[in-house]
Chain A
Amino acid sequence: MIIDGSEGSLKKFLSDLPPVDQVGAEARAAMLSTRSIKTTSKAWAIDMAISMVDLTTLEGADSFGKVKALCAKAVRPDPTDLTVPSVGAICVYNDMVKTARTELDAIGGKHIPVAAVATAFPSGRASRAVKELDTQDAIDAGANEIDMVIDRGAFLSGRLGEVFEEIKIIKELCGDKAHLKVILETGELVTYDNVRKASYLAMLAGADFIKTSTGKVTPAATAPVVLVMLEAVRDYFALTGTKIGVKPAGGIRTTKDAIKQLVLVNETAGPDWLNPSLFRIGASALLNDLLMQRMKLRTGHYASANYVTMD
């Protein structure tokens, strides 16, 4: 164990982490965004990105019908081309989990996990008891993955032990029933030093994945933020031998954005992370752009938006 569980040892560990130089991190991310991904590597990257999409709907207006439509899309993103892989997961609010799970099972999507956003998503402003109930409710409904939010207020005011405890408790509830993704909401943590600290805090507390954002706050999954998180999982692996996944979410809308993310993964955490079990992209509109670019590569011309399904 790297830390003994006390707040003191946690604080000591996090404050001993090397700092992040903002200018340098942004320059590295900008350099990697100039990589030119063409032809065969583009085709490979598009299919990889599709298989990594956590197809998401997190709206007040979500209905059973909307969620069912999304499930159909998740299983067969392009009904005219069955070589297109299915997506990484479906991501919904708690009350939609059961519908999503049932629907996926019924239409050939048993292999697609359902992720639920829990712990008073997106703000995380609720009592511990409510957060625990929220999580338990999602697991009971059949969620395979829990996307929890950290208490940013506690983190920013230095109550790191509280944040750590909360993740640990949610992880215990997840047990072996659900994977735990921990949302740092980097747009509210603001500095890269905080992103690095929060990443380690979440990993030490038991996260299976660290996730940038809820998608409700901007900025969200910026390239330098993802870079810093990928460095964290890479170094955590060197330290512990455990591979933790990364999920950028929010603002990744185009194929170009997605491929830039894959380049970041490839040249930071390394090729081992180019795998839906260690890298996911939280998105909704992205999937259709990936499909259109896939068609373009295959046919040589752009199809109209009517050739992909709107859900």
Chain B
Amino acid sequence: MSGFEYASAPESKAIANIASSYGLFINGKFVEPKKGKSFNTINPATEELLSKIAYADKLDIDLAVKSARTAFTKVWSKMPAKERGKYLYRIARIMQERAREFAVVETLDNGKPIRESRDTDIPLAAAHFFYHAGWADKLEYAGVGSKPKPVGVVGQIIPWNFPLLMLAWKIAPALAAGNTVVLKPAETTPLTALLFAQVCQQAGLPDGVVNIVTGDGITGAALVNHPDINKIAFTGSTEVGKAIARSISATKKSATLELGGKAANLVFDDAAIDEAVEGIVNGIFFNQGHVCCAGSRLLLQENIADEVLEKLKKRMSLIRVGDPMDKNTDLGAINSKEQLNRIHEISNTGDTEGANRWSPECILPSKGFWYPPTIFTGVSQSHRIAREEIFGPVLSVLTFRTPAEGIEKANNTMYGLSAGIWSDKGSKVLWAAKQLKAGVIWSNTFNKFDPASPFGGYKESGWGREGGRHGLAGYLTSDAKASK
């Protein structure tokens, strides 16, 4: 060989015991759907079939909600809080023990690099259960009065970008607060949720506390519209979020919505440049850019723009695109054909509207769904690629002349989920953080998550918070408003 080429270093698939088909997880058991329908889940990196998944319709949802209601009234809400906590600790420990299995299944089903599922998704998911296990018997400190009550049965709908992690964000606080759940994973990434159902069985979690129903948008709508649901927690697109808000508007259901984003990543001229470049790369290319809080709008102070772009391009040419199971892969597969088409559609408007596209040389695999790491320079606020969420590895680069202009451009969006500030000057960081209208603001870092830190957006990025005390409070109600 010539030079330091990294030989392929694939993680073994042997640990992933993916069954040829999966039923619905209702009342502690895997059951066949009433109408016997199913759909396929594939590996987006190879387009190979992974498993056949049961399709839940209205009747199945009704069964799942009934089992959650029974478990809520008879078992889970009556159980001493510290006992509930023990179950959460047990689940967290089993997730850690089976971390490699979870990571492999996640990567096969989602297309994300094994390095990310191994080092980020799975450890963070377990951390969410550990964190909320500790809350179970301390709910009076959650900020909803001295005698907080669970809201009841929660319908939860999660996206495909961080399948297990989003499940943990939803289920851990719900259970800690004493609720029971019916969770619908995304159509393209159901496998780790079904593996999690096995973990619930392994942990001896009482039947019906967690129900997993697989399906598509129609399944999700049936869950949202079920009359015996007390709360909906949804993470996904702003479009679907609005539809959910409309459909529950005349009901007593409450909702937490984590929706889209078009985060500004502001780099000031006094920033640590090399680390800012790393942060830009991590901000947009982490998880193929399938991140609602991705730093998809790079705002560079004009006097350092050339220097930063030169370094960014050099750094981007080192991004290793390819087999997600290879331990050295940095950028994996796009999750689905549908999403790939959407990335193409919006990105192509960048070309037609006059922005300049650049990607490093890279050879994309012939099978599966792939998009190269891409930046657009010469982007202005009025371009579609500066306004719409692409949800892919595509970065729009804009410039600003003064800090005030930077803030103005950063806030000029219908979203407000996250933002990044890069400056070595503490006073400037604090000033900018105060001005930015975003739920999460990172200073000199990006895409860092912790169960103790609340996450959520301004404006069309959503309602409510997840994580931390604020997220937990969303699963509790004060005495007076307690559910039946």
Closest to A48 in B: B4
Interface SS of B by simple majority: loop
Interface pairs (10), CB distance under 8 Å: A18-B272, A19-B424, A24-B276, A25-B275, A27-B278, A28-B275, A36-B6, A39-B7, A40-B7, A42-B7
Chain B residue contacts of A20, Cβ below 8 A: 272, 274-275
Q: Which of A144-152, A159-167, A181-189, A266-274 lines the interface with chain B?
A: A266-274
Chain A residue contacts of B250, Cβ below 8 A: none
Whole-angstrom CA separation of A231 from B273 in the bound complex: 11
Within 8 A of A (CB), among B348-369: none
Chain B residue contacts of A274, Cβ below 8 A: 3-4
- The reply to whether the CB of B445 lies closer than 8 angstroms to some CB of chain A is yes
- The reply to whether the CB of B271 lies closer than 8 angstroms to some CB of chain A is yes
- CB of A23 within 8 A of CB of B444, answer yes
Within 8 A of B (CB), among A6-27: 18-21, 23-25, 27
- CB of A25 within 8 A of CB of B274, answer yes
With beta carbons under 8 angstroms apart, the residue of B9, B270, B273 that contacts A37 is: B9
Chain B residue contacts of A44, Cβ below 8 A: 1, 4
- CB of A41 within 8 A of CB of B6, answer yes
- CB of A41 within 8 A of CB of B5, answer yes
- The reply to whether the CB of A128 lies closer than 8 angstroms to some CB of chain B is no
- CB of A41 within 8 A of CB of B272, answer no
Whole-angstrom CA separation of A112 from B272 in the bound complex: 40
Chain A residue contacts of B3, Cβ below 8 A: 271, 274
- The reply to whether the CB of A34 lies closer than 8 angstroms to some CB of chain B is yes
- The reply to whether the CB of B318 lies closer than 8 angstroms to some CB of chain A is yes
Whole-angstrom CA separation of A204 from B444 in the bound complex: 30
Chain A residue contacts of B9, Cβ below 8 A: 36-38
- The reply to whether the CB of B27 lies closer than 8 angstroms to some CB of chain A is no
Chain A residue contacts of B279, Cβ below 8 A: 24
- List the 8 closest A-B pairs by CB distance, nearest first: A24-B275, A21-B272, A36-B9, A36-B327, A21-B275, A41-B7, A18-B273, A19-B424
- CB of A19 within 8 A of CB of B6, answer no
Closest to B115 in A: A34
- The reply to whether the CB of A89 lies closer than 8 angstroms to some CB of chain B is no
- The reply to whether the CB of A45 lies closer than 8 angstroms to some CB of chain B is yes
Chain A residue contacts of B119, Cβ below 8 A: 34
Whole-angstrom CA separation of A44 from B6 in the bound complex: 10
With beta carbons under 8 angstroms apart, the residue of B1, B115, B276 that contacts A41 is: B1
Within 8 A of A (CB), among B1-51: 1, 3-9
With beta carbons under 8 angstroms apart, the residue of B275, B328, B424, B444 that contacts A36 is: B328
Q: Least Cβ distance of B121 to chain A in Å? A: 15
- The reply to whether the CB of A115 lies closer than 8 angstroms to some CB of chain B is no
Chain B residue contacts of A28, Cβ below 8 A: 274-275, 278
Chain B residue contacts of A34, Cβ below 8 A: 115, 119, 327
- CB of A262 within 8 A of CB of B4, answer yes
Closest to A28 in B: B278
Closest to B9 in A: A36
Chain B residue contacts of A231, Cβ below 8 A: 274
Whole-angstrom CA separation of A271 from B3 in the bound complex: 7
Chain B residue contacts of A37, Cβ below 8 A: 6-7, 9
Whole-angstrom CA separation of A45 from B328 in the bound complex: 16
Interface residues on B, range: 20 to 34
| Most chain A beta-carbon neighbours within 10 Å: one of B4, B115, B318 | B4
Within 8 A of B (CB), among A235-286: 262-263, 266-267, 271, 274
Whole-angstrom CA separation of A25 from B3 in the bound complex: 26
- CB of B4 within 8 A of CB of A266, answer yes
- CB of A24 within 8 A of CB of B444, answer yes
Whole-angstrom CA separation of A262 from B4 in the bound complex: 9
Interface residues as binary, B311-353 with A (CB distance below 8 Å gives 1, 0 otherwise): 0000000100000000110000000000000000000000000
Q: Least Cβ distance of A161 to chain B in Å? A: 25
Q: Least Cβ distance of A186 to chain B in Å? A: 17
- CB of A45 within 8 A of CB of B4, answer yes
Closest to A192 in B: B272
Chain A residue contacts of B424, Cβ below 8 A: 19, 21
Chain B residue contacts of A42, Cβ below 8 A: 7
- The reply to whether the CB of A296 lies closer than 8 angstroms to some CB of chain B is no
With beta carbons under 8 angstroms apart, the residue of B6, B7, B278, B327 that contacts A24 is: B278
Whole-angstrom CA separation of A28 from B444 in the bound complex: 13
Chain A residue contacts of B445, Cβ below 8 A: 23-24, 27
Closest to B330 in A: A31
Whole-angstrom CA separation of A38 from B115 in the bound complex: 16
Within 8 A of A (CB), among B86-128: 115, 119
Q: Least Cβ distance of A299 to chain B in Å? A: 19
Closest to B326 in A: A36
Chain B residue contacts of A110, Cβ below 8 A: none
- CB of B278 within 8 A of CB of A41, answer no
Within 8 A of B (CB), among A63-99: none
- CB of B274 within 8 A of CB of A267, answer no
- The reply to whether the CB of A216 lies closer than 8 angstroms to some CB of chain B is no
Interface residues as binary, B194-216 with A (CB distance below 8 Å gives 1, 0 otherwise): 00000000000000000000000
Within 8 A of A (CB), among B278-316: 278-279
Closest to B446 in A: A24
Closest to B269 in A: A18
Chain A residue contacts of B6, Cβ below 8 A: 35-37, 41
Chain B residue contacts of A40, Cβ below 8 A: 1, 5, 7
Q: Least Cβ distance of B274 to chain A in Å? A: 5
Interface residues as binary, A206-231 with B (CB distance below 8 Å gives 1, 0 otherwise): 00000000000000000000000001
| Most chain B beta-carbon neighbours within 10 Å: one of A20, A36, A271 | A36
Chain A residue contacts of B271, Cβ below 8 A: 18-19
Whole-angstrom CA separation of A274 from B2 in the bound complex: 11
Chain B residue contacts of A24, Cβ below 8 A: 272, 274-276, 278-279, 444-445
Given contacts A37-B6, A231-B274, A266-B4, 7 further A-B contacts (CB under 8 A): A19-B271, A20-B272, A24-B279, A27-B445, A39-B7, A41-B1, A45-B4
Whole-angstrom CA separation of A25 from B318 in the bound complex: 17
- CB of A19 within 8 A of CB of B278, answer no
Whole-angstrom CA separation of A28 from B4 in the bound complex: 19
Closest to B2 in A: A44
Q: Least Cβ distance of A226 to chain B in Å? A: 14
Whole-angstrom CA separation of A60 from B327 in the bound complex: 45
Chain B residue contacts of A262, Cβ below 8 A: 4
Q: Least Cβ distance of A33 to chain B in Å? A: 12
Whole-angstrom CA separation of A267 from B5 in the bound complex: 11
Chain A residue contacts of B115, Cβ below 8 A: 34
Whole-angstrom CA separation of A20 from B424 in the bound complex: 9
Interface residues as binary, A106-137 with B (CB distance below 8 Å gives 1, 0 otherwise): 00000000000000000000000000000000
Chain A residue contacts of B444, Cβ below 8 A: 21, 23-24
Q: Least Cβ distance of A193 to chain B in Å? A: 9
Chain A residue contacts of B274, Cβ below 8 A: 18, 20, 24-25, 28, 231
